[in-house]
Copies of this chain bind each other. A is one copy, B any other.
């Protein structure tokens, strides 16, 4: 059995040796290069574009402007399609846009023989705009009277989720309740995957072929069809290895545009890739959110009523629409169930870069607010934060009314117990009481829960095909994608066990090609290992039945007495090896009278979801005068069911924790009053690096998930959800100061520490120079 073992990644050798092929490696000599002209205003209308000077340059093949492209809109979200119109994503953008919605919007494209020519041409294009008032704050945007960002959305509100449980207004009338009312805010964050967006298109065999760095090849096929207004089967998407995505490639970004461009140059190959600077501005971001939470509690820590108002800043285009804020709103009641709830989430257009999917999909924001709020409540009541949580936390047996998910174990309490022990919480808590001086330490925690996949909101389906080779090895094709997370390795382990062959005999077909790859939805919603486990085991069952049936014909044994174990046909009665699968495959294939090329293919519709649970524990050291936070320890505890590959699971957690550290302490896209992004590069954008990390500690509670064949559930996004509030609560523990916004930079902490009387005047003087230096960045 390979499941549960830390086998090496199946793509390790190719990636280490540079053999692994990425989109760039598919580009043929002579392909054209396309470069996009981005708007230099945040809101307005393109009146005219003069390309005459640019067109005179050598090597310019064609310049296409927002006036040339098809006049219909399409959606970009990487969601499964729905035949129910109410369930379809918002179609609010064209391939190039006349109505410009953010500083960096796409208004024209130059196609040239090479990149230098294209970039030179961009500089010579002259654009005339009619400028509208721009708005950058979601609450302001909802209430703005200026030109709507999208004509069809007069109030700029993309969506509003309204949850009501019990009777909040009645409940808060109870005497003696304590009210805790706080606002929290999270930043615009960018995914910062290693490989920028790149797509490459050409026409061939009556189809437009797009090779793209995407998480979702089959979905991108459909979106390209919609964008170009052509039949979806006339699009073919090829997805090679990709250098990360984290949700940013769960959108059809420039694939539709490049698909269109090749049709404008007679099907000639066209490459369109983004620079890092473009990726920061003109791809997708994590939503900045303003979150308002009011709790009414009894002095014993009982929650009587709770209210949430969430405002998600979606930027210029809908992308994933309201689903991210909806998820952040809908998760409000489960973690600490409460009888009387009011929750309202709003997703609002603003004139900033478009927010879309990013690892955690709205949960890191809500968890930062909610788990910070928990500590605020505990502080107010004089309770220990752990005790308050344990008292209120989702109990074993809890059933979610909507997803019908059940908490089959007491995973939360277990996770908290493991983390508590690991970080030596109680001792530290005691030790860090009554600190004084500039350097202070604290411990804190944050919890989270996370779904696995999107059922029942959208369809959850996964298909798999297995093809037997003459040597008994097997190609396995899946629409689910390797995006650096190790998916291919997990799929291979499950396939080897499900079929009964050595792992080396599984050849996972890593590159998806929508022409021949069984339909799959792709990498998002932490769904793949869970979903693929169904399609792999189901297909393996059919595949194995065919193999055993053929073995029966060759060996004349009853099928029930035959099995396939470790690549050998055995008879079960005495486990004797009768023949190898390779021998059987060869005999079957070359049988003159009854040749059999054994393969199997099946689709599995999953009508389950599964709660993943966990908690983060942080220990920090705060330099109060410098407003600097050093993470001494960060512990994540996860119940994601049984692990397929412990080493990869740990690596998955490390990555998510790293991302959460950046979210908590340093990362933020900054913009000026024109809406222009100021730190669109990896020097000025303070990505969290190993220099900022302690040695991440990860613990797993492997409560077997009963719905899935390998007892597993989501782990891709969960590690990102709870570190930020744990760090925030550790700072609170260290300093007594409640920090209600991320990232918790010196800029944020310094005034708070000063206000709390922790900083003397001497320090203030010393800091002046540093403040000045920082302010330069905002000019």
Chain A residues within CB distance 8 Å of chain B: 10-11, 13-14, 17, 19-21, 25, 28-29, 80-83, 202-207, 222, 225, 231-234, 266-267, 455-456, 458-461, 463, 465, 467, 469-475, 477, 504-505, 507-510, 515-516, 518-519, 582, 586-587, 589-597, 599, 601, 603, 605, 607
Contact = CB atoms under 8 A, between A and B. Distances in A.
Given A232-B470, A596-B603, A601-B599, A589 B19 contact: no
Contacts of A456: 592
A595 to B, nearest CB: 4
Contacts of A475: 515-516
Contact of A519 (B233, B472, B504, B589): B589
20 contacts: A14-B205, A19-B202, A19-B203, A19-B204, A19-B267, A20-B204, A29-B29, A231-B473, A233-B471, A233-B473, A456-B592, A458-B592, A459-B590, A475-B515, A475-B516, A477-B516, A509-B516, A518-B597, A518-B599, A599-B601
Contact of A463 (B231, B267, B597): B597
B232 A469 contact: yes
Contacts of A519: 589, 597
A592 B504 CA distance: 35
Contacts of A518: 467, 597, 599
A349 B222 CA distance: 59
Nearest to A511: B205
5 closest A-B pairs by beta carbon, nearest first, are A233-B469, A233-B473, A461-B595, A519-B597, A233-B471
B590 A81 contact: yes
Nearest to A269: B19
A275 to B, nearest CB: 22
A669 B319 CA distance: 67
Contacts of A455: 592
A234 B17 CA distance: 18
A222 B470 contact: yes
A458 B596 CA distance: 15
A467 B515 contact: yes
Contacts of A470: 81, 222, 232-233
A684 B136 CA distance: 78
B471 A232 contact: yes
Contacts of A10: 205-206
Contact of A589 (B14, B461, B472, B593): B461
Given A267-B19, A467-B515, A595 B590 contact: no
Contacts of A599: 465, 518, 601
Contacts of A515: 467, 475, 507, 509
Contacts of A25: 28
A282 B678 CA distance: 65
A624 B437 CA distance: 119
A13 B233 contact: no
A361 to B, nearest CB: 20
A31 to B, nearest CB: 12
Chain B CB count within 10 A is highest, among A460, A589, A595, A603, for A595
Contact of A505 (B207, B233, B474, B589): B233
Nearest to A202: B19
A233 B459 contact: no
B467 A590 contact: no
Given A231-B582, A233-B474, A475-B515, 4 more contacts: A17-B267, A234-B471, A596-B605, A601-B601
Nearest to A521: B595
Nearest to A470: B232
Contacts of A593: 605, 607
Contacts of A28: 25
A227 to B, nearest CB: 15
Contacts of A516: 465, 467, 475, 477, 509, 516
Contacts of A472: 233
Contacts of A202: 19
Contacts of A222: 470
A487 to B, nearest CB: 14
A205 B459 contact: no
A586 B519 CA distance: 12
A527 to B, nearest CB: 14
Chain B CB count within 10 A is highest, among A232, A267, A594, for A232
Contact of A11 (B13, B14, B205): B205
A8 to B, nearest CB: 11
A204 B206 CA distance: 29
A205 B474 CA distance: 13
A461 B597 contact: yes
Contacts of A587: 83
A470 B203 CA distance: 20
Contacts of A231: 471, 473, 582
A222 B586 CA distance: 11
A510 B14 CA distance: 28
A203 to B, nearest CB: 6
B233 A507 contact: yes
Contacts of A19: 202-204, 267
Nearest to A514: B469
Chain B CB count within 10 A is highest, among A234, A477, A508, for A234
B595 A266 contact: no
A473 B461 CA distance: 21
Contact of A459 (B81, B473, B507, B592): B592
A205 B507 contact: yes
A606 B622 CA distance: 78
A478 B463 CA distance: 20
Nearest to A508: B205
Contacts of A605: 591-596
Contacts of A14: 204-205
